[in-house]
Chains A and B, each alone.
Chain A
Amino acid sequence: MAKKDTMRALVRRGIDEETADKLAGHFTLSALKKASLEEVQRAGLSEDQASAVLHTLGRKIAAGQAAPEKSVDERQAVINEFTRIKGIGPSKAEALYEAGFRSLLELQLQPIEAIAEVKGIGRKYAAIIKNHLTPSREEAMKKFATIKGIGPSRTQKLWDAGYRSTLDLKVATEEELEEVVGSAATQIKEEVGDLDARDILAKVDTIPPPEIKESEERAALRQAIQAVLAKQDEYLPRSVVTQIIEKIAGKDIPQKKLTELVTRVVEEYNQALMDPLEACGIVGAQSIGEPGTQMTMRTFHYAGVAEINVTLGLPRLIEIVDARKSPSTPMMTVYLEGGYKVNRDMAKQIANKIEITRLINVAEVTTDLGTMTVIVTPHLKALERRDITIEDIEKKLKTVRRAKIKRVNDVIEVKPTEEVYKELQRINEEIKSIKIKGINGIKRAIIRKEKDEYVIFTEGSNFEEILALDGVDKTRTTTNDIYATYNVLGIEAARNAIIHEAYSTLQEQGLNVDIRHIMLVADTMTADGTVRPIGRQGISGEKSSVIARAAFEITVNHLLKAAKKGEVDQLRGVAENIIVGQPIKLGTGSVELSVDVSKMRKKGE
């Protein structure tokens, strides 16, 4: 590796230029990774610098999702260690090693899901591993009790707070322990010690930030630009840097010109930024509200898919902003993977699997009062079309309580165990609505070809269960039910879902609203970790100012309650200051003038 390349590689990993320069003169990248502390120091670094460098390199390797490869003997040692766990044989131990686990300690610290994900190890064995490594309740409590200052009550408190072993005590900070056991925390820390497990905890499960593939040349340019920015202690977002690269790629720019270029760009960027304390909330609200008045309140067919109705326009926007628990027309876009997405028949298979089919859809249900039987006559063609057999129907019918099933050729007879008219009626009703096939909630599944793959659109949404199916692309499938997205994928995904839904609702109506306003709304709605509606049940209702709430909705109640309790309004927000007649604390009003009397000149001086 040439010295320049090594230097660049080191800088890319986070080492400063000067140190990188020194190192590059003595090592290649791979040699450096294997070097010892003394060897690195010989290149002209202090002990601290050397250990910092090795630490960074070590950390970077771990973050690249490949745990440091130990020599063959060490690998075997780790695998043997794993095999000692009851239930884990040599093949599973190997699988654990390949997945990146290097010690029992890591297995103890990683969540059970991370272990279950390893190929060859499912939930069952992950649970076995975890059980083996975590002491039982009695063991743990006994261990806690041996620490000076921890009596039975504090032991219980530790357990209730989630601590399961001395390892947990090691990983926690003294402050955290203080919250649980008060002053005894110091004693615990003295006896148990500390363990910084941040690296281990974050290692296996987090997926590294997707590296955007760039050509060597562009990556180098980006490096250079970042270096200039770092020197000036300025910031440019990634997309702006990309634009600079677009302009100068291929041209040979001397360093001085590049610096000047970057400086100019930084100037322009800083000027384009919004001022601090600008009233961005109201600007955003108006920017969304104004085009809202141009939206129609009609609903029409989802453009392209002739059969599925989806709420559009203003009613949909209101649903989103009100954080409704489920939309009035839930819909899912199910992407498929592998063979399922190129083969229409296989796609149809999945569509049939998820679309709900009830018995009355495929069979005729009649009652014969004479013989006290309910007769189920399946339509053979309908069965064929949906890929169901009469045996399937029989199996489902067996779940009917207090009834006897008898198959006669292509017809099924159902008799109540107690031959009473009431029972007959009950069976009749129950049978008619019995679900034969499909996932709850999916009323219809339609296949369409998009670009070069088959996609299933469903009327009705059951996000969790769909994602559990084979053949479904679990990374791209989405639903328009924001609450479901929140429950399955988390708050960040919900934020993205809100932005996507709101933006496309506006787009579809032909309105162009800058996405930043919508991003602000989405950020506000998801700021506390849950999806809060904007209205009085949510953000507006949680304001601390009485006057602001009274001005928003239900005026008299708020004022009465506040008066009863003797509440104080700090007059910190916008609404209350306007009502009272003072300048608001945004923009101009964010600044107060003050005078330093000691610096004032006396008259005549």
Chain B
Amino acid sequence: MHFNILKHELVPYFKVLSREEVEKLLSVYGISKGDLPKMVVTDPVSRAIGTREGDVVKIVRRSRTAGESVAYRLIVGTGMGDIRTLESDEED
């Protein structure tokens, strides 16, 4: 890595949440982990901050409308790759 992508203008602030923080987050919104928006584990940012599958990151974005806006992402594996490229069963 030639430079720190976390410093780029387009990349917001990331923070990994501890297990307690994650539980608190899930209970505040009444959701389960899988309902969160996701980020792939091979994502350049995920690689840079060293997150593993199952971690949850808190993202603080600069927002034109609200000044600051908080979002969360669940780190997710690459799974089967691009589902869209799997061949669907064709006609007999």
Q: Which residues of A contact B (CB under 8 A)?
A: 109-111, 113-114, 116-117, 162, 173, 176, 196, 198-199, 201-202, 205-210, 237-242, 467-468, 474-476, 478, 485, 487-493, 496-497, 515-516, 519, 523, 526-530, 537-538, 541-542, 561
Other-chain contact of A202, B16, B40, B65 (Cβ < 8 Å): B16
Question: Given known contacts A110-B50, A113-B48, A529-B76, is B66 in contact with A237 (CB within 8 Å)?
Answer: yes
Residue of A with least CB distance to B84: A537
Beyond the given pairs A162-B52, A237-B66, A528-B37, 11 more chain A to chain B contacts, judged by CB atoms under 8 angstroms and listed by A's residue number, are A113-B1, A198-B16, A206-B6, A207-B4, A475-B8, A489-B11, A491-B39, A491-B40, A491-B43, A492-B39, A493-B45
Tell which of A162, A173, A196, A493 touches B11, judged by Cβ atoms closer than 8 Å. Answer: A493
A271–B47 Cα gap in the complex (Å)?
41
Residue-wise interface mask of B (52-78) relative to A, using a CB-CB cutoff of 8 A (1 in contact, 0 not): 101000011101111111000100100
Q: Given A238-B67, A490-B44, A529-B73, A196–B18 Cβ distance below 8 Å?
A: yes
Q: Are B2 and A467 in contact (CB under 8 A)?
A: yes
How distant is A382 from chain B, measured CB to nearest CB, in Å?
32
- Complex alpha-carbon distance, A258 and B35, angstroms: 39
Question: What are 18 A-B pairs with beta-carbon distances under 8 A?
Answer: A109-B50, A111-B48, A113-B1, A113-B47, A117-B1, A196-B18, A196-B19, A201-B49, A205-B4, A206-B49, A208-B13, A242-B67, A491-B40, A492-B59, A496-B10, A496-B12, A527-B38, A530-B82
Cβ-defined partner of A489 (8 Å) among B10, B39, B65 = B10
Report if B15 contacts A (CB, 8 A): yes
For B, the interface residue count at a CB cutoff of 8 angstroms equals: 50
Contact of B60 among A162, A209, A474 (CB under 8 A): A209
Q: What A residues does B61 contact at CB under 8 A? A: 492, 496
B6 touches A527 (CB 8 A): no
Partner of B49, one of A202, A467, A529: A202
Bound-state Cα–Cα, A468 to B2, Å? 6
Bound: A114/B4 CA distance, A: 9
Alpha-carbon separation in the docked complex, A161 to B27 (Å):
29
Contact of A516 among B45, B65, B68 (CB under 8 A): B65
Chain A contacts for B83, CB-based, 8 A: 542
Known: A205-B50, A485-B10. A530 touches B40 (CB 8 A): yes
Is A493 a contact of B6 with CB atoms below 8 Å? Answer: no
Q: Do A116 and B1 form a contact, CB below 8 Å, given A173-B19, A490-B11?
A: yes
Contacts A209-B60, A489-B8 known; A541 to B49 CB distance under 8 Å? Answer: no
B84 contacts A205, C-beta separation under 8 Å: no
Query: Complex Cα distance A462/B82, Å?
Result: 24
**Do A492 and B40 touch (CB < 8 A)?**
no
